C-alpha cells in the first residue's frame, strides 16, 4: 500500500475536493461533514459505510451527533491518503446523497 502520487492527487483526489471533501491540516487525510434530516438517516448512512468499509478492510474515523456525521479518511498502513480512501470517499458521497 502506498500513498497517492502527485498525478493521482490531481486526477483522483481533486474531484473529491470539488465535491466538498477537504484536506486535514497537519495530516495526509481528507474530511467531509454530512448533515441529514434526523438521527435515523445519519445512522443509516453510517451503517452503509460501515458495511462497505468492513468489506474493504478500511475503516473511517468518524464523529456523530444526532443528524451530523463527520468522516475522516486516511490509510494507516501507508500513513497517508491511498486509493482506498478515494474509493471509500466516493462510496460515502453516494451513500450520503440525502445529506444537505
C-alpha triplet 92, 15, 19: angle, nearest 5°: 55
Domain ranges for the chain, please list them.
6-95
pLDDT of residue 98: 76
Over residues 11-49, the pLDDT tens digits come to 999 999 999 999 999 999 999 999 999 999 999 999 999
Predicted model pTM: 0.94
CATH of 6-95, one of 3.40.50.720, 1.10.1040.10, 3.40.228.10, 3.30.1360.20: 3.30.1360.20
**How many other CB atoms are found less than 10 A from the CB of residue 32?**
20
Over residues 61-72, the pLDDT tens digits come to 999 999 999 999
Residues 94, 77: Cα–Cα separation, whole Å: 25
**In sequence order, what E strands does the chain have?**
22-23, 30-35, 61-65, 68-73
Amino acid at each position: 500500500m502506498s500513498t497517492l502520487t502527485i498525478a493521482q492527487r490531481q486526477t483522483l483526489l481533486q474531484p473529491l475536493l470539488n465535491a466538498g471533501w477537504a484536506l486535514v491540516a497537519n495530516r495526509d487525510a481528507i474530511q467531509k461533514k454530512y448533515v441529514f434530516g434526523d438521527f435515523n438517516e445519519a445512522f443509516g448512512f453510517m451503517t452503509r459505510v460501515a458495511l462497505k468499509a468492513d468489506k474493504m478492510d478500511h475503516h473511517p474515523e468518524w464523529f456523530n451527533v444526532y443528524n451530523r456525521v463527520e468522516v475522516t479518511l486516511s490509510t494507516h498502513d501507508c500513513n497517508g491518503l491511498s486509493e482506498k480512501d478515494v474509493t471509500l470517499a466516493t462510496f460515502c458521497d453516494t451513500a450520503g446523497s440525502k445529506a444537505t
